[in-house]
Structure 1
Amino acid sequence: MLTNKKTKIVATLGPACSTREIIKDMIDAGVNVFRVNFSHADYEDVKQKINIIRGLNEEFGYTTAILGDLQGPKLRVGVMEEGVVVHDGDLITFTTAEDILGTAKKVFMKYQNFPNDVNPGERILLDDGKLIFEIVETDKKSEVIARVIQGGELKSKKGVNLPNTKISLPAMTEKDIADAIFAIGQNVDWIALSFVKTPRDLQDLQELIAQHSEYKIPIVAKIEMPEALENIDKIVAYCDALMVARGDLGVELPAHEVPLVQKELIRRAKTARIPVIVATQMMETMITSLTPTRAEVNDVANSVMDGADAVMLSGETATGNYPVQVIQKMTQIIEAVEDSPLIQVPQNTPQIKTKRFITKTICHHAATMANVIKAKAICTLTNSGYTAFQISAWRPNAHILVFTSNKRILTQLNLLWGVKSFMYSKDVSTDDTVTDINEIVKQKGFVQKGDFLINLAAMPIKDKGMVNTLRVSEIE
């Protein structure tokens, strides 16, 4: 039986969840969206898993979504000799000239523009910040000399972060473009872009989607760089969702600054009425243990109480020992806290009179009114899914039930807090439609006799225009 929680769970696909049985058990335990991590993806394998998920959707009436997550310009060092250790105060040379086997004296850096982008005094962080170097000098061509600030073992192909450096790389590498075209071809529901710095990064991906698909695929901007925080207002205007990617964010920024950044990013997303995902290390110990730490339980709960639409698991489901149990545990935590009166929604009513001002205002009033009259459900007929985004952002207590004839948004909306979507393709007049939908909602057990229910629709229905009507019904 599917859970009734409103906060969504994103789970990363990987070797630990390759079979149809495990994927089905994970959906039943509470997964709403599966993430394909293109950092470690084999196209044939991805196709197979997407087919399994879509097959289960078809057979059991699930609406599980698929999120393609592009790797972005992940900087890495080359291959190292075994057991290389660097000590505080040592000098080391990073070279882009030749792919040498790395030693404690000299290491290959895979990023060609590195010597030109960096300046003395800037820091190089390696292996999620475990090792820290400070740049002493650069020849601006192929070699950079750095001093070890925090030493340790230098391992092969580890990721590099440059928190003080303005990197000249675009957010989409050649690999990302190929992965994005593949993901678009697979009709994924969402695409996440890593290391977003400016709105231009998002526009490049939007243009790529437009070239390769007749449909708009919504974009999740992953926030993991200080530059993205500086440009956050502009980024929010160009993306369809945000992800608080705490892994790289906690390396690029001092880790102790991340909790407030998380809260601020969630608040920004809520104000813009777009969904927000909190990701990384949420249940990390459950990769190998059946019990999460108290701190992890608290972290998931706090992310829900901050107002996240979705919480995400990475290694826990991709390579962990307990992919189903970690979902069950997460669902349990979500259900325990998500109805708390302590959760506050930013109450900024729609102000700017754009062409969607009426729709926005109606959705806002529907959510507010539902709480006042204690309506059990808000039902909306939509072709674009726009009203679902708007209602979800106001976090009403009522069920948010979306009816659509557009098969693509049926699964897409599964990332949104509290939204459940259903296929509805009858083209009948408004009164009949409302009666019909109310009957379906009653049969599905969301309402019973005497309950109030709010219907939103665009009149006339056959035009599939913008929502302009709010109606309250009492179930008979």
Structure 2
Amino acid sequence: MPTNKKTKIVATLGPATSKKEILRDMINAGVNVFRINFSHADYSDVTERVKMIRELSDELGSNTSILADLQGPKLRVGVMAGEVVVAPGDKISFVTGKPFEGTAEKVYMNYASFPKDVKPGELVLLDDGKLMFKVISTNKKDEVKAEVIQGGPLKSKKGVNLPNTNISLPALTEKDIKDAIFAISQDVDWIALSFVRFSQDLIDLQALIKKHTDHKIPIIAKIEKPEAVENIDKIVAYCDGLMVARGDLGVEVPAHEVPLIQKQLVLTAKKARIPVIIATQMMETMITSLTPTRAEVNDVANSVMDGADAVMLSGETSVGNYPVQVIEKMSSILMSVENSDLISVPHNPPHVKTNRYITKSVCYHAAIMANEIKAKAISTLTNSGYTAFQISAWRPSAHILVFTSNKRILTQLNLLWGVKAFYYDKYVTTDETIEDVNAIACQKGFLDVGDMLISLAAMPIANKGMVNTLRVTEIESCNVKK
């Protein structure tokens, strides 16, 4: 397993990844997180796949993480009656209510409030923006009339984007609530919420998680609406990670604005010390080809240089012909760029004196000092995983080794850049615990005689409090305790 890859890979499950051997090969090639896309998920299939991943994770000692991705309010047109093609200048009606077969003059829309929410002059985009319509009028009840601006084949059940419309639908639909409750029952490590616009969307999901489990399941806010970009500071206050979902985002805002939005979102996540995933069309060519385009290689490399914690594959691993090879190729791109001096990390020390200020400050100085003294690793003992988030965000060149007795966070932390987590439950004296931890790091090949190590701990160790101690050690021997 590539131990020296720091950027994490999220791979989407699908028909191409239904066999345990393929999942094993993908983990060995560099997958850190498997994504369940609830837009196309069958519960019995998901249950089986989760079981396989958990078994492989134990067998390989990989702490492979599982991310449940909720569909969100997906607007779609209905089924078409045969081949339907529309041309610029044509007039068409979008009708809500009871589903019917669509024609070039009239199509069904599954979004009941569409006539109330939309205004004349606003755009309606279909099929990832391939078709474009302009609203002429609405009867505010069940029909919206529009003119075709950009034509083409109008296909069944294609997604609808409304870039200028304030949608009244909640981010958490009835389907999402059902899917989230099922995902919680499967003990997933992360839940991603689609089409987040406001902090309230995340508060609603937090309440749902709290109602159905005693454990904290961290939430990733998927940023794919212009409102989310505008409200990003409030959103990061209520989520545990961000996903730059460039597919829908590139339809909702002009595509040429997406690269700078990506950079802005990565920077925002780094300041908030939460992980950020870059998603959509990263290695799309490899769905059917063994080699990516140079532009795709550049895209993956640039995402790492922007500071992404993880890069995500969708169709490439869910339905692609080469689910293992695409991981191998992506791993090699990540490892070739992630240690470059060209990557800069914003180094603004924590200044807000919150109740966690001491821990934040210790983590910040550990990352800075590790780079200064060329420490091989930073080790930290944690019960909540908080220090792992903090250290990872400062992007030290040292390995980040996290030791915890909390088995639930072992797999959660696998999404974070550079973090490798280990199970450890013998909290005795400080000296003995740090000695133990050093021995494990040696055994796993992260440390050697003569290496410098920075150890973080909460003193007294047995209390498992907040990190308040930083200790520097030179490894004198790598005798692993039996």
Q: 3-state SS of the aligned residue for 1:75? A: coil
The amino acid that maps onto 1:169 is L
Taking only the aligned residue pairs, the percentage that are identical comes to 73
In the TM superposition, residue 2 of structure 1 has moved relative to its aligned partner by 3.4
Give the corresponding residue for 2:249.
Answer: 249
The amino acid that maps onto 2:80 is M
CA distance in 1, matches of 2:156, 2:474: 65
Q: Is the 8 A contact 1:284 1:315 kept in 2?
A: yes
The amino acid that maps onto 1:244 is V
- 1:384 and 2:384 matched: yes
CA distance in 1, matches of 2:333, 2:107: 45
Give the corresponding residue for 2:479.
Answer: none
Q: 3-state SS of the aligned residue for 2:237? A: helix
User: C-alpha deviations, 1:204-238, integer Å up to 9, x for none?
Assistant: 00000000010110000000000001100000111
User: C-alpha deviations, 1:288-340, integer Å up to 9, x for none?
Assistant: 00010000000000000000000000000000000000000000100110000
CA distance in 2, matches of 1:374, 1:81: 66
Give the corresponding residue for 2:217.
Answer: 217
The amino acid that maps onto 1:328 is E
Q: Is the 8 A contact 1:2 1:27 kept in 2?
A: no
The amino acid that maps onto 1:85 is V
The amino acid that maps onto 1:179 is D
Q: Is the 8 A contact 1:92 1:104 kept in 2?
A: yes
In the TM superposition, residue 98 of structure 1 has moved relative to its aligned partner by 2.7
User: C-alpha deviations, 1:177-209, integer Å up to 9, x for none?
Assistant: 000000001110000000000000000000000
Q: Is the 8 A contact 1:132 1:151 kept in 2?
A: yes
The amino acid that maps onto 1:286 is M
Aligned residues: CA RMSD: 0.6
User: C-alpha deviations, 1:118-176, integer Å up to 9, x for none?
Assistant: 00000000000000000000000000000000001000000000000000000010000
Give the corresponding residue for 2:79.
Answer: 79
Q: What does 1:316-331 correspond to in 2, within 5 Å?
A: 316-331=316-331
CA distance in 2, matches of 1:60, 1:155: 44
CA distance in 2, matches of 1:253, 1:82: 31
The amino acid that maps onto 2:5 is K
CA distance in 2, matches of 1:347, 1:369: 12
CA distance in 2, matches of 1:73, 1:255: 22
Q: 3-state SS of the aligned residue for 1:76? A: coil
Give the corresponding residue for 1:440.
Answer: 440
- 1:208 and 2:169 matched: no
Give the corresponding residue for 1:28.
Answer: 28
- 1:355 and 2:355 matched: yes
CA distance in 2, matches of 1:67, 1:278: 14
Give the corresponding residue for 2:315.
Answer: 315
Q: Is the 8 A contact 1:3 1:29 kept in 2?
A: no
- 1:291 and 2:291 matched: yes
Can you give the 5+ residue segments of structure 1 that lack an aligned partner in the other structure?
none
Q: 3-state SS of the aligned residue for 1:473? A: strand
In the TM superposition, residue 427 of structure 1 has moved relative to its aligned partner by 2.3
TM-score of the superposition, structure 1-length normalised?
0.99
CA distance in 2, matches of 1:249, 1:319: 22
Moved over 3 A (4+): none
Give the corresponding residue for 1:176.
Answer: 176
The amino acid that maps onto 2:455 is N
CA distance in 2, matches of 1:228, 1:60: 38
CA distance in 2, matches of 1:435, 1:336: 33
Q: Is the 8 A contact 1:3 1:28 kept in 2?
A: no
Give the corresponding residue for 1:449.
Answer: 449
CA distance in 2, matches of 1:28, 1:374: 29
Q: What does 1:325-474 correspond to in 2, within 5 Å?
A: 325-474=325-474
CA distance in 2, matches of 1:155, 1:331: 36
Give the corresponding residue for 1:43.
Answer: 43
User: C-alpha deviations, 1:339-387, integer Å up to 9, x for none?
Assistant: 0001011112101111100000000000000000110000000000000
Q: What does 1:123-138 correspond to in 2, within 5 Å?
A: 123-138=123-138
User: C-alpha deviations, 1:228-254, integer Å up to 9, x for none?
Assistant: 011000001110000000000000001
Q: 455-464 or 204-213: which moved more?
A: 455-464
In the TM superposition, residue 97 of structure 1 has moved relative to its aligned partner by 3.0
Can you give the 5+ residue segments of structure 2 that lack an aligned partner in the other structure?
477-482
The amino acid that maps onto 1:36 is I
CA distance in 1, matches of 2:377, 2:239: 29
- 1:64 and 2:64 matched: yes
